[in-house]
C-alpha cells in the first residue's frame, strides 16, 4: 500500500487482540484523525484559506496532530499550551513550524485550561483571519471517527463494549455513535481520573495527562455513557507499565487506564467482545510514567493494582482509588441531582 503522507499512513488504529475477548484499537497518535478531518472540513467550507492562521489550545497530542497536518497543507499554526508541553514536544512542534505559547499562570477557576482559552481569545483578536478548530466544542471532532469505527466493524464484526479515556469526549462519543448505528445496545465505558470535572468530581490538580478536564467540554455527551470510572495516577501508571511489561505494548498513560478497566469488565463478561481505545505511544512519557525516579519524586507508589474497582452510587463517593458508577446514559444534571452530598454538584456547577 502506497500512502500519500505520514498522516494517511498512521491515522487509523491497528486492531490487536490483548486478551481472549479484549481488542486494542491501538493508535500511534489518535488525534491525527480529528486534526486532519477538521482541517479538511474547514478548507472545504472556506473557513480556512492560505492566509488564515490556525489557533488552538492543546497541551499535547491534538497540538501535535494539528502541527503535522498544518505543515503538510502549508497553514500557519499557533498552539497555546501549558507546562505539560515538555521541552521535547515543544521542539517538535516548533520543528513543524508551529508557534507555541505556553501559559504560565493558572486561571482563578478552570486551571490551565481557563488560562489557555483566555490566551486563545487574545490571539483571535490579534489575527482577524483565524480559524479555531475547537476540539472541545466542534462536532467535527467526534465526527472524525467514522473510518476508525468502520475498521472495527470490518475487523471484528462490531463490539459489545467500548472502553476509552475521556478528555474532550470526541473519541469515545464519536466512535460510540458510529458503532451504535448497527448495535444500539453497545456499552460505552468512559475512563476519567480523580479531580476531573468530566463525570462530576470537583476540579483538583491531576498528575494524569490526556484524560480528564478542569472545564466541561461541550463534546462530552454524558447520556452516551453506561459506566464512568475514575482511575488514580498510581493505578494509571502501574497499568500502563504492565501493558508494556506483559504485552510489549509501549503506550501512553491513558491507554493504561483504559486497559485496566477493559480487562476487568471483559473478565466479568466472557461472552462480550470488548474494544479498548489506546490513543498514543509511550515515547513522550519515558521521563515520567516510565521513570522510577520521576514517580518517586512525585510521590507515586507503584503498589499492586486493585483486582476490582469500588462501585459507588455517585461521583462524590468516588474516594481516592479506582472506582466506578453505573452512569446509565443519564445527563450530568440527572446524575448529580441524585448525589445527595452535593459535593459534585457544586464542582460541576462551577465548572460548566
* CA–CA separation, 35 and 41 (whole Å): 10
Q: Which stretch binds ligand PLP (CB under 6 A): 13-21, 111-119, 159-167, 297-305?
A: 159-167
Binding to ligand PLP by residue 344, rule CB under 6 A?
A: no
Q: Whole-number minimum distance, CB 190 to ligand PLP, in Å?
A: 9
- Output the 3-class SS for 67-109: HHHHHHHCCEEEEEECCCCCHHHHHHHHHCCCEEEECCCCCCC
Question: How much is the CA Rg of the chain, to the nearest whole Å?
Answer: 19
Binding to ligand PLP by residue 200, rule CB under 6 A?
A: no
Cα distances (angstroms) measured from residue 8 to each of 35, 72, 191: 12, 11, 28
Residues 188 and 159 sit within 8 Å (Cβ to Cβ): no
Residue 43 grid coordinates: 478548507
**Which residue do the cell numbers 476508525 mark?**
148
Identified binder of ligand PLP from the candidate list 110, 210, 282, 315, rule CB under 6 A:
210
Quick one: 13 or 165, whose CB is closer to ligand PLP?
165
Binding to ligand PLP by residue 111, rule CB under 6 A?
A: no
> Who contacts 313 (Cβ-Cβ below 8 Å, separation ≥6)?
325, 338, 339
Binding to ligand PLP by residue 190, rule CB under 6 A?
A: no
β-strand partners of 321: none
> Mask 165-184, x = binds ligand PLP (CB under 6 A)?
xxxxxxxx------------
Binding to ligand PLP by residue 254, rule CB under 6 A?
A: yes
Q: Which stretch binds ligand PLP (CB under 6 A): 37-45, 89-97, 162-170, 342-350?
A: 162-170
> Mask 114-153, x = binds ligand PLP (CB under 6 A)?
----------------------------------------
Q: Which residues contact ligand PLP (rule: CB under 6 A)?
A: 60-62, 165-172, 210-211, 252, 254, 279-280
Amino acid at each position: 500500500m502506497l500512502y500519500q503522507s505520514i498522516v494517511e499512513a498512521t491515522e487509523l488504529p491497528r486492531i490487536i487482540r490483548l486478551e481472549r475477548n479484549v481488542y486494542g484499537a491501538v493508535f500511534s497518535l489518535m488525534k491525527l484523525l480529528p486534526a486532519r478531518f477538521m482541517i479538511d472540513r474547514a478548507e472545504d467550507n472556506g473557513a480556512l484559506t492560505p492566509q488564515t492562521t490556525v489557533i488552538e489550545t492543546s497541551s499535547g497530542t491534538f497540538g501535535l496532530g494539528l502541527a503535522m497536518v498544518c505543515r503538510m497543507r502549508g497553514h500557519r499554526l499557533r498552539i497555546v499550551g501549558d507546562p505539560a508541553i515538555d521541552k521535547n514536544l515543544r521542539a517538535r512542534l516548533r520543528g513543524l513550524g508551529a508557534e507555541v505559547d505556553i501559559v504560565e499562570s493558572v486561571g482563578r477557576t478552570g486551571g490551565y485550561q481557563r488560562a489557555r482559552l483566555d490566551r486563545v481569545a487574545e490571539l483571535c483578536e490579534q489575527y482577524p483571519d483565524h480559524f479555531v478548530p475547537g476540539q472541545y466544542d466542534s462536532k467535527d471532532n467526534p465526527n472524525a471517527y467514522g473510518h476508525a469505527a468502520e475498521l472495527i466493524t470490518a475487523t471484528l464484526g462490531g463490539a459489545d463494549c467500548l472502553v476509552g479515556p475521556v478528555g474532550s469526549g470526541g473519541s469515545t462519543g464519536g466512535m460510540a455513535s458510529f458503532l451504535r448505528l448497527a448495535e444500539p445496545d453497545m456499552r460505552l465505558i468512559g475512563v476519567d481520573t480523580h479531580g476531573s470535572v468530566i463525570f462530576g468530581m470537583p476540579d483538583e490538580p491531576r498528575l494524569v495527562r490526556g484524560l480528564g478536564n478542569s472545564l466541561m467540554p461541550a463534546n462530552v455527551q454524558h447520556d452516551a455513557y453506561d459506566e464512568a470510572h475514575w482511575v488514580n495516577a498510581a493505578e494509571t501508571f502501574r497499568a500502563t507499565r504492565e501493558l508494556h511489561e506483559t504485552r510489549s505494548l509501549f503506550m501512553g498513560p491513558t491507554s493504561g487506564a483504559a486497559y485496566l478497566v477493559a480487562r476487568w469488565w471483559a473478565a466479568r463478561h466472557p461472552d462480550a467482545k470488548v474494544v479498548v481505545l489506546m490513543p498514543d505511544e509511550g515515547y513522550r512519557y519515558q521521563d515520567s510514567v516510565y521513570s522510577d525516579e520521576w514517580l518517586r519524586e512525585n510521590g507515586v507508589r507503584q503498589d499492586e493494582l486493585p483486582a476490582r474497582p469500588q462501585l459507588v452510587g455517585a461521583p462524590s463517593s468516588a474516594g481516592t482509588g479506582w472506582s466506578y458508577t453505573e452512569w446509565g446514559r443519564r445527563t450530568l444534571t440527572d446524575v448529580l441531582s441524585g448525589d445527595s452530598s452535593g459535593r459534585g454538584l457544586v464542582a460541576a456547577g462551577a465548572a460548566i
